[in-house]
Structure 1
Amino acid sequence: MEQYDKCALVGEESGVDVKESCKKIEDKILATKKKIYGNLTPWQRVQLSRHPDRPYTLDYIKGIADEDSFVELHGDRNFGDDPAMIGGLIKINGESVMIIGTQKGRTTKERQHRRFGMSNPEGYRKALRLMKLAEKFNIPIVTLVDTPGAYPGLEAEERGQGEAIARNILEMCQMKTPIITIIIGEGASGGALGIGVGNRVYMLENTWYSVISPENCSAILWRSWEYKETAAATMKLTAPDMLKEKLIDAIIPEPLGGAHYDPKQTFENVKEVILKDIKTLSKQSGDRLMKDRQEKFIDMGEFKG
């Protein structure tokens, strides 16, 4: 990029036509980016999924929703509100959708406020309350997953973290309205699965989905984070691995370099998938949607020797 900037500057200052030279530099930059991002290791994809400039749930909501259509809903009607789990009603090309997702923070203060996208039990209970509301009015549900896991604090355990996640999984299996789940960043452990039981499950190209993070896997097996890259490769947690094992339905492509390089294009890719699935799934009966979702996840645990 430095060479390109110098080339453009020389052209401006001297009045010389340097378009051809700049074009050659542009082509070289593009070829280098394709070479780099076309051969990413699993660990590098994990790092990309955590990029601080990567779009978060609120960015996706703003990017895919009709203008000023988002109505955020708060509270679990039991304990309180959880800023790490957000949700509400939006319209996408006029279609009413209940959207729910884990939200990380940009600044240090916001990261602490949202606990780095790690939800408390009230977050999962809020998500379930919104899903039940959507089911009542036959509104499709979209969940966006980007979390390093459920919050592991003592207060979360005291308020029933495990029960809240298990309840969500059970209830989502019985929902009679379409559910579309998209992994937009990190998809770790029960924190992800607590809002991840969908009729359609997708992963963005540079995301990961697993029962545990590579660092924690390394710490358990080797008593050190030193082997996190080996763990990432062994765990088969990337989107291509998950698709190969038939644990997701498809991979949503990202712009070259990752979602943060061109968020607008990423939002369009996600929006297209959501609208297509809403059109298809809405034609099915509630009982059919429920049965297909149950069979989908039961089949994941089947082993044939």
Structure 2
Amino acid sequence: MRRGVSPVVKVHADQAVPATGGRIRSKVWAYIALTKPRVIELLLVTTIPAMLLAHRGSVDPLLILNTLFGGMLAAAGANTLNCVADSDIDKLMKRTERRPLARDSVPRTHALIFGLAISVASFFWLWHFANALSAHLAGATIAFYVFVYTLLLKRRTSQNVVWGGAAGCMPVMIGWSAVTGTIQWPAIVMFLIIFFWTPPHTWALAMRYKEDYAAAGVPMLPVVATEAQVTRQIVIYTWLTVIATLALVPATGWLYTVVALLAGGWFLWLAHKLQAGVRRGEPVKPLKLFLQSNNYLSAVFVALAVDSALDLPTLLSLYAS
């Protein structure tokens, strides 16, 4: 050992490096968690099929990637600003108590700046790499989600997710407009599919965590209504969802039609099964419907993507000739 160099100091210095690196990684993951990455998955599931259907079988891959990235920035910005606005009630709910702002792992002002920055970035990204309509739709979505749903509806009405869920429907509109520069009837139908799907999906989760919402003072339908009333509404919106998927059939091929019918029947069976269980007084297990509703939406939109990418009617006509 060289004179004047303390081994204690050396050990402490070596330990400081991973500690600092760990803090940086922890901070980065905290900011990522603010964006709710699992929620952003819906963007990928719905945007790509909408773009492929907009121009069946031939969409520039670079346009798809740029639109997805811009849409991801928009969703991340909206979700972060939602976390900022809901930081007080997130601390009161077991389901959300580990979110970064609930644990004070990110300063609230820093999260606000982060959310605003990536929201603005999403607008200009889509403007530059897609078109002005897509950019304005993304901006309107962020504003609606934050100001209309989070700040106005969420804590005031049991119909919050019905109208607030419109923000989650916008990726299909953004994707369609990025390809066509317009909004046409298939994009509106895809919007309605997600619009009607959101209430049964969200209410099933709220049935499982209704004590959380009650403690936070959020009047979700399962908090203010009976289980019989909630499951009746779930069944109604499930039927509307399936009907909306079938309304898209004229713009698609047989592959999408078959999957929409089979998946729709399965989704309806799950909803009616939950309602029947409530009527019989059996223990409610709504989380199964919540989880399977994700699989349902994925199946429908993946089928739409494959159907559109392959353009089966055209391929079959070419083969016949």
TM-score of the pair, normalised by structure 1: 0.29
More strand by share: 1
More helix by share: 2
TM-score of the pair, normalised by structure 2: 0.28
- Greater relative contact order structure (CA < 8 Å, 6+ sep): 2
Q: Which has the larger radius of gyration?
A: 2
